[in-house]
Amino acid sequence: MSVPLQRPIYLDCQATTPVDPKVVAAMLPYFTDCPGNPSSNNHLYGWEAKAAVDLARETLAEFIGATPRELVFTSGATEANNLAIKGVAEAYLTKGRHLITMQTEHNAVLEPCKYLEKLGFEVTYLPPQADGLLDLANLEQAIRPDTILVSVMAANNEIGVLQPISQIGQICHQHKVLLHTDAAQAIGKIPLNVEAMHIDLLSITGHKLYGPKGIGALYIRNRNPHVQVAAQLQGGGQEYNVRSGTLPTPQIVGLAKAIELGVAEQTVEAQRLTQLRNQLWQTLQTLGDIHLNGHPQQRLPGCLSASVAGVEGAALLLALQPYVALSSGSACASSKPSPSHVLTALGRSSTLAQSTLRFGLGRFTTSAEIEQAAHHVMQTIQRLRAGLTVLPMENERLNQL
C-alpha cells in the first residue's frame, strides 16, 4: 500500500490546536531556568514562579474584564465546568436545587448535570431552535424560584453557533439566577467581557487557542454578586482554597500568552477565517444535498459543520484520513457509534447526523489548503454517491479521474 508523502491537511481546530511557537518560547524558561513552585515563598525560584503566575492572572483578567482575584486556574475547561456546576450546586443547596442548561452543551456540562440529578437536583435541558440558538422566551419560562444556575456555552464546539450570552445574562440577573458559560471555544476568538455580558462564572482552556493542553481557568464573580463555589479538590489550599494543587507555572504562562495573542489578532483573524470558511462552503455547496448545521452567520469564524446526504459517514471519514484531518463532531465523543447529540437536537436524522463533517479552520490554515481539502472532499463524496468503493489506498488516484 502506497502512503501519501505529505501529512494530512489539519482541519480539526475545534478539537485542539497546535501550540503557537510564541507560546512555546514564553513557556520554556519555566521548565528549566525558573523551575520554582509558586507556593515556595522562601527563595528566588519560588518568587520568580509566583511573579509569573501573578502576571498571567492579571493578563487573563484584563482580557475578560475581570479582576485577578476572580480567576482560579484549573487543568482545563472540563474541570472548570465541573467546578462551576457542582461547586455552585453544593454552595447554594439551601436556596434551590434546580439548574437549566441546553441539550447542545458539551458533555463536560451535561455529565455534571446528570450527576447532580442522581443527588436529587432537577435539571431542565432546553432544546435549541433549528439554527442552534437558544429561544430566550423558553429560558425565561423555565426559570423557577428554586433555580440557582443557568449554564449555556458561548460557542458550540460542534456547530460553532454563538449564543446571545449578553441577553441570557440579563435574563438571569433579572431573576437573580447565576449564569455560567463554557467559553472554551470562544476565548480569544470573539470579544468576551464578564461585566458587560452579565456572566457570573466562565470556563476557559488553553489548547483550543494555540496554547498548551492541561491548563484552563474558571472566572468566579467576586462582586455584585459575590458568587460562592464549594471546592471540589481539597489539599494544599492553593487558588484561594477553591482548587488545591501545585500550580503548573509553564502552562499558566502559556495560557496567558495564547490568549494575549488571540485577542491581539482577533479582528483580523476573524475576517480571514470567515473568508476561508465561506470559500469552503461555497465550493461544497456545488455538490448538492449538503446541509449547513447551525446559524449561517452567528457562528465562530473558523467552524463549518455540514451534513452530507447520500454517503455513509464512516466510509467518508476513512477515505479522507490520509489527506484531510477532520471529524464529524466532538473529539471527546469520536469513539462513540451513536449520532451527535448536538445534531439530533437540531432535528437531523440519525443517518444524516452520522454523515457530518466538521471543518475546524485555524491560525495556520491557508487558502491553498482549503482548495486542496475541498477538492479531496468533493471527489470522495462524488465517488461514494456513485457507489464506488473509496479506500485510503485508492484515494491517490482520485486526481486522475
Quote the pLDDT of residue 393.
45
Active-site residues: which are they? 332
Domain ranges of the chain: 9-18+266-400, 21-264
Residue 134: partners with Cβ closer than 8 Å, 6 or more residues away: 102, 126, 128, 152, 163, 164, 168
Contact 26, 376 (CB under 8 A): no
Grid coordinates representing 351 are: 443517518
Whether domain 21-264 has CATH 3.40.50.10680: the reply is no
Tens digit of pLDDT at every position of the chain (401 positions): 344 568 999 999 999 999 999 999 999 999 999 999 999 999 999 999 999 999 999 999 999 999 999 999 999 999 999 999 999 999 999 999 999 999 999 999 999 999 999 999 999 999 999 999 999 999 999 999 999 999 999 999 999 999 999 999 999 999 999 999 999 999 999 999 999 999 999 999 999 999 999 999 999 999 999 999 999 999 999 999 999 999 999 999 999 999 999 999 999 999 999 999 999 999 999 999 999 999 999 999 999 999 999 998 889 999 999 999 998 866 555 555 678 999 999 999 999 999 999 999 999 999 999 999 999 999 999 999 998 765 544 444 444 43
Distance (Å) of CA 59 to CA 128, 226, 335: 34, 22, 37
Query: Dihedral angle at the C-alpha atoms of 83, 88, 93, 94, nearest 10 degrees?
Result: 150
Q: How many of the other CB atoms lie within 10 Å of CB of 336?
A: 12
First to last CA, the chain: 20
CATH number of 9-18+266-400: 3.90.1150.10
User: Which residues, including other chains, have CB under 8 Å from residue 282's CB and lie 6 or more apart?
Assistant: none
The reply to whether 21-264 shares the fold of 9-18+266-400 is: no
Residue 72 and residue 78 in contact, taking contact as beta carbons nearer than 8 Å: no
pLDDT of residue 332: 59
Beta strands 122-126; 98-102: pairing state: parallel
Task: Output the pLDDT for position 168.
Answer: 98
The answer to whether 59 touches 189, Cβ cutoff 8 Å, is: no
